[in-house]
A = this chain, B = another copy of it.
């Protein structure tokens, strides 16, 4: 089953380690439903991806989500992209190993500039729960709606 189990944290500062792989990501949402189900277009490096994440009607925050993705060609992506108007964001993603796990740091751009997050994916919920966040991680935002990409793409940075 295509399931995503992840935890997400804010970062106050970030200096990419020399081993980090950087990818530019532009993503937009074709649809975002009340239950959290989302249909996303993503350009990541030279790839184009259509993805559906099913929302859970269960209690939030849950680190588990069902996700299905398929590659598109550039023409298909361009044809569908207008359907994401008003729900887009851009970020640079740095991927590297740290503290025994793979860490994905997103440095947001444009209207979201200043926001940095770190995500870690796990194979199981117990593993996710047992993960000791390293010192350089800030507050945890797993499942926090205001920091979901689907919210950021439509509403911008949370008012603090």
Contact = CB atoms under 8 A, between A and B. Distances in A.
A69 to B, nearest CB: 9
Contacts of A1: 75, 79
A68 interface: yes
A118 interface: no
A23 to B, nearest CB: 22
Interface string A13-45: 000000000000000001101010101000000
Contacts of A63: none
Interface residues of A, number: 22
A97 interface: no
Nearest to A36: B83
A159 interface: no
Nearest to A68: B76
Closest 9 pairs between A and B when the two form their complex, measured CB to CB: A31-B31, A70-B70, A66-B79, A37-B83, A68-B76, A39-B39, A54-B83, A31-B39, A54-B80
Interface of A: 1-2, 30-31, 33, 35, 37, 39, 50, 52, 54-55, 66, 68, 70, 72, 75-76, 79-80, 82-83
17 contacts: A1-B75, A1-B79, A2-B76, A2-B79, A30-B31, A30-B33, A31-B31, A37-B83, A39-B39, A50-B52, A50-B70, A52-B80, A52-B83, A54-B80, A68-B72, A68-B76, A70-B70
